[in-house]
Structure 1
């Protein structure tokens, strides 16, 4: 779910602080990480990896961009018919279509090459924050905020990818975010406060079957853990770890991107400490071969010098 001017809502696109940079990193499952692109002119967020493995898709300044991984060149995707974007965007399984959340609270569908976007969601009194597309491309998972009231917990929702009726999935009373389908389409992985509904700032990683059964906590920790992303082969997962007690998923604080095996969420395989948070790892950023994933750091000038 996007947040720009406060931890849990979006009212316009984020911009860099004075002396701050966006750094797009590509991490390997062996623990290495390489700086793919850096800029002090544009706040980039939430990389996706294209199906052909040649580029990353990011948002920045309310627009959509592609980053050629080999040439390290950034290009705008020319979209029309859509308001400013937030950082919730996911590619469809066909690799040609992208679903996007915009700052009018709706979800849109567009060609990755650009052109006019079509709205998927209806004016149903809720805000819609996209996070997942089913493996068959027929369904979307999103977080619904009823009446745009951000004092209320976000709810796990699904909708047909071509629009239509929405359905709620009961994931408990606590706020949830980041719902994403497993590669086999049987589960939705998410972060939730349902296991600690009386303790703000204790999001934990969980999963639930798409039919609403089997809700289970996957990782119990003293930190605040958000946005689980499974690799395409289902063997590994990445997530972002905030300091204990963090409310929401704010920007600009010390966090870590963590890699785990889906067979053992408790034991990190590798971790990458960085200055970031919001925008770092909001959506699935795995490469199609399950060997790499991308994230964004936002160091300040003094940190870069040090």
Structure 2
């Protein structure tokens, strides 16, 4: 039987990854595990027992009790990025997989327990997954069509895609609210990357943050009360970029909008919280921080 390291032979070895959790009330952080390679984007399962992350193009399951990881068999989908999303009943996982034929990202679904033949959902590419509606019927994603990145939805069973945004600028990170009424996303349409919210049908697109920062990937807590997102300092990145290896903040605000508070400061960015990483009781967030092996953070 192959070891985890043998499975992850394509994992980036230039960084150390720290899988962490933070208490959203107290701000207390806990390192759950350290990895001598790149891991990204933890999803918390609905039973609260596991975190799903990606590394080296594969999906892995981290058991919170044993603190051990196992690879989820995903068949030909072995070039997955950090856009994976769990189905509402935790039986399936949707992924963005880069085809070996053309290198483009398309969305597939496979059993969370693993499977040999992931099901293709989006024929058009590139398509980058971000959300699965609470009723299980629909996926939301960012896609480039005709040179423009916008937000689309598609039936989880496959079918025709529906375009929800068409404003100039990058729209990305669409994720459903727990009540199925809204899709949260981030957009550069006002200059800097900011957090926005719209109705699930694309109407009433409303700016929710007005920070002098670039804000990405809003994630609504399971109880619908709070929204976590990640911010880059203005000037550190272009508004349309979310690179790795930057000093960033995880911020928290009420789902109705208003003032934010900083939950954590860390070295990270790409891979830290690309997906919804709330615990099912809405009390904690999981995330990944990093350290370059050639650079001691804080020195």
> Corresponding residue for 2:35?
39
Which residue number in structure 2 is paired with residue 299 of structure 1? 291
* CA 1:188–1:122: 2 relative to 1, 3 Å: closer
Q: Which runs of 4+ in 1 moved over 3 A?
A: none
Report the equivalent of 1:234: 224
1:68–1:304 CA distance, 2 compared to 1 (3 A):
farther
Q: How far 1:122 moved relative to its partner? A: 4.1
Shift of 1:177: 1.0
- Alpha-carbon displacement from aligned partner over 1:206-249 (angstroms, at most 9, x marks no partner): 01112221110001011000000000011111110111132210
The 2-side partners of 1:258 and 1:298 are apart by: 18
Residue of structure 2 aligned with 1:223, choices 195, 213, 218: 213
Structure 1 residues without counterparts, runs of 5 or longer: 1-12, 197-201
Distance 1:153 1:298, change over 3 A: farther
RMSD: 1.7
Equivalent of 1:274 in 266, 269, 286: 266
Query: 1:7 matched to which residue of 2?
Result: none
Q: In the alignment, is residue 253 of structure 1 matched against residue 246 of structure 2?
A: yes
> Under a length normalisation based on structure 2, what TM-score does the superposition of the two structures give?
0.89
Q: What is residue 68 of structure 2 aligned with on the other side?
A: 73
Q: For the residues of structure 2 that align with 1:260 and 1:90, how far apart are their CA atoms? A: 22
State how 1:1-306 maps to structure 2 within 5 Å: 15-17=12-14, 20-30=15-25, 31-40=27-36, 42-104=37-99, 105-124=105-124, 126-146=125-145, 152-170=147-165, 172-196=167-191, 202-245=192-235, 246-247=237-238, 248-268=241-261, 270-301=262-293, 302-303=295-296
**Equivalences, count:** 280
Residues 120, 161 of structure 1: 8 Å contact kept:
no
Shift in alpha-carbon separation, 1:304–1:69, aligned structure 2, 3 A: farther
User: Per-residue deviation at 1:120?
Assistant: 3.1
Query: How far, CA to CA, are the matches of 1:14 and 1:166 in structure 2?
Result: 33
Q: Give unmatched runs, 5+ long, in structure 2.
A: 1-9, 100-104
Match of 1:9 in 2: none
CA contact (8 A) 1:111 1:117 kept: no
In the aligned structure 2, how far is the partner of 1:205 from the partner of 1:137? 24
